[in-house]
Structure 1
Amino acid sequence: MKLARFTSGSRAHERLGVVLDDGSSTRLLDVSAVPGHDAPRTMMEAIHAGPAGLDALRQAQERAERGADPAWFHGEDDVTWLTPVPPRSCIAAGRNFGAHRLESIRGNPEAGAGFQIDFPTGFIKLGRNLVGHRAQVERPDDVEQMDYEAEVAVIVGRDLLNATRGQAKQAIFGYTIMNDLSAREWQFAEMRNLLVMMGKNFPGFGPLGPCILTADEVPDPTALRLWLKVNGELRQQSDCTDLIFQFDELVAFWSRVGLEAGDIISSGTPDGVAVHRKPDPRPYFLKPGDIVHAGVDQIGVLETRII
């Protein structure tokens, strides 16, 4: 099941939608509009309800398909897509795809010896800087090296502390898409002080969405295939077999600091980022007017416009 948060028309409050794709068009079923069910009405309610909540949402979907009232459905172009979860803690993995780790070492040989893989590493994306599908993101005036990073992100389904891998796997609610936008000149300056914060956290630098594919429909997360295009040009493509640390390992590791339901943990990105393009990365950095599509075949496509 694919679930999304959205608003429509003059109604500003969040609505929970079941995303329906028949191959030619995408619609959202407004769960709150379907009568005669006790399904969750918000994403966080769905996450907290667990399997029982998903069963209720399936029943609401079946009821809607039988009733087929057009007022219950919205076209994908007729809604404002929200981030799949409200602002939450977001931990983004660093150098977690093997090929990206290698391109990072080639791009910075002096630091390569310090690129350890004994345990996951990462950084914080501020929840308030996450934006939804089709958001417009402004490139800051003092940033010339604005980069893209397609990633798969896990949505944590329940509170966790010091979880095992088995417990972590069971606690994954679903998967979505992130574009970890980065200001490389800021990031690399910070990294000389062994820190990363500003370069990953300008307003809007965390596109997320468009929806969550629930974990029951992802029996093998290593099969998730991701890609990224800028203005239609393919820049990144890989699948999650190249992950150094798999999703359950990431969730278990970061549960040491405590995780809450709805928290986000992203995978890291494959190779192909702009900053490591040879011989000159400058034409590949994002600029105003660019349209970025980050996709995971099994989930959908996240669109971001740079202004």
Structure 2
Amino acid sequence: MRIGTIRNAGGERRLVLGATLGGTVLLLDARGARAARGGPALPHDVEAVIAGGTEALDGLAALIDWAVSAADPAWFADPDTARWDIPCRPGKMLCAGRNFRSHRNEGAPAAEPTLPTGFLKLPETLLPHRGTVRRPDDVTEMDHEVELAAIIGRPLRDATAREAEEAIFGYALFNDLSARDWQKREMQEKLLLLGKNFPGFGPFGPWIVTRDEIPTIADVTLRLTVNGEERQKGTCADMIFPFPELVAHWSRIGFAPGDAVAGGTPEGVALHRKPDPTPFYLKPGDVVRAEASGIGALETVIGGDSGDAA
């Protein structure tokens, strides 16, 4: 199932579901369709869907079937014209660093690590599909990283890899935007925070696709283009630590429903372009499109120095 969040004309967050009508995937307004059908209450937002587990998903699946059969256009919207919000609001997002072999080796080749390492992405960085992110005045090396993020479906602590896999609710696209100039300065001190956490540096969504829709994560292909030019491409088979291992390892911190774990990025980032990465860094006006097979696409516009993340 595809689950997302949009905002209506009044700015209210609305739960939407992916529904195929006449061969086209449309947005089903879950609240409107449920009000028309009647029956038992259903979750009104993605956070409640995640918390509701299998029972909530079964109820929404039945609603989709009923709405498609009734085919009332009042309940459906075009995803290309919707005002998207981030699909859910993670309390924390943990991001794996250099977790694809191709990315780990595109700079200076390095031995594979013995445990996952990474960094935090603050919730304030998260940006919806088709959002515009401001490039800060003092950032000239703005980079992209197409990633897949696992969304945690239930409380989890000190889990095994099997328990961690079973706790994954679904997956969403994520673009780990990075200020490489700041990142390099921070990493000289063996630290990393600001270089990953400027406002809007975490495009996220638009869909969460439930785990049952993606039986083999290793087969998922990640791709990123800038203004239509391909910059990154790779499959999740290249991950050093697959999602169950990442989630299990970091479950020592403790996860709540809706938290997210990003799995890393394939090769092709601007930082490691040779001989000169400068032309490949993101600039105002660039349109960045991150894609994952079976999941969808996430677009971001890079704004000028006077713009704001939106």
- Structure 1 length normalisation: TM-score? 0.94
User: What does the per-residue CA deviation read over 1:158-192, in whole Å, with 9 as the maximum and x for residues that have no partner?
Assistant: 11110011110100000010000000010011001
Aligned-partner SS, 2:276? coil
Find the counterpart in structure 2 of residue 19 from structure 1.
Answer: 18
Aligned-partner SS, 1:272? coil
Distance 2:140 2:81 in 1: 34
RMSD over aligned Cα atoms: 1.4
* Residue 98 of structure 1 pairs with residue 101 of structure 2: yes
Among 144, 151, 155, the alignment partner of 1:148 is 144
Shift of 1:40: 1.6
User: What does the per-residue CA deviation read over 1:86-124, in whole Å, with 9 as the maximum and x for residues that have no partner?
Assistant: 242111100000010011325xxxxx5xx6511000100
Find the counterpart in structure 1 of residue 308 from structure 2.
Answer: none
Q: Which amino acid aligns with 1:57?
A: L
Aligned-partner SS, 2:249? helix
Aligned-partner SS, 1:257? coil
Distance 1:249 1:22 in 2: 38
Distance 2:112 2:253 in 1: 21
In structure 1, the gaps of 5 or more residues are: 107-111
| Count of aligned positions | 299
Find the counterpart in structure 1 of residue 132 from structure 2.
Answer: 136
Shift of 1:51: 1.0
Distance 1:32 1:148 in 2: 35
The list of structure 1 runs, each at least 4 consecutive aligned residues, that deviate by more than 6 angstroms after superposition, is: none
Distance 1:162 1:44 in 2: 23
Find the counterpart in structure 2 of residue 265 from structure 1.
Answer: 261
- Structure 2 length normalisation: TM-score? 0.93
Distance 1:184 1:42 in 2: 35
Report which stretch shifted further, 25-34 or 283-292. 25-34
Distance 2:203 2:248 in 1: 24
Label 1:21 to 1:238 Cα distance change in 2 as closer, same or farther (>3 A). farther
Report which stretch shifted further, 296-305 or 20-29. 20-29
Among 50, 53, 74, the alignment partner of 2:53 is 50
Q: Which amino acid aligns with 2:18?
A: V
Among 31, 35, 38, the alignment partner of 1:36 is 38
Counterparts of 1:55-204 in structure 2, within 5 Å, are 55-106=58-109, 112=110, 117-204=113-200
Query: Does the Cα contact within 8 Å between 2:90 and 2:260 map onto a contact in 1?
Result: no
Shift of 1:14: 1.4
In structure 2, the gaps of 5 or more residues are: 304-310
Aligned-partner SS, 1:15? strand
Shift of 1:279: 0.6
Label 1:283 to 1:22 Cα distance change in 2 as closer, same or farther (>3 A). farther
Q: Which amino acid aligns with 1:102?
A: N
Distance 2:20 2:200 in 1: 27
Distance 1:160 1:87 in 2: 14
Q: Which amino acid aligns with 1:36?
A: G
Q: Which amino acid aligns with 1:189?
A: R
Shift of 1:294: 0.2
Label 1:71 to 1:249 Cα distance change in 2 as closer, same or farther (>3 A). same
Find the counterpart in structure 2 of residue 211 from structure 1.
Answer: 207
Aligned-partner SS, 2:3? strand
Report which stretch shifted further, 178-187 or 213-222. 213-222
Query: Does the Cα contact within 8 Å between 1:48 and 1:261 map onto a contact in 2?
Result: yes
Distance 1:131 1:225 in 2: 22
Shift of 1:13: 2.0
Distance 1:153 1:105 in 2: 26
Aligned-partner SS, 1:141? coil
Shift of 1:78: 3.2
Distance 1:157 1:218 in 2: 15
Query: Does the Cα contact within 8 Å between 2:4 and 2:207 map onto a contact in 1?
Result: yes
Aligned-partner SS, 1:77? coil
Query: Does the Cα contact within 8 Å between 1:294 and 1:301 map onto a contact in 2?
Result: yes
Shift of 1:130: 0.3
Q: Which amino acid aligns with 1:169?
A: E
Distance 1:26 1:218 in 2: 18
Label 1:71 to 1:22 Cα distance change in 2 as closer, same or farther (>3 A). closer
Distance 2:21 2:302 in 1: 30
Counterparts of 1:199-278 in structure 2, within 5 Å, are 199-278=195-274
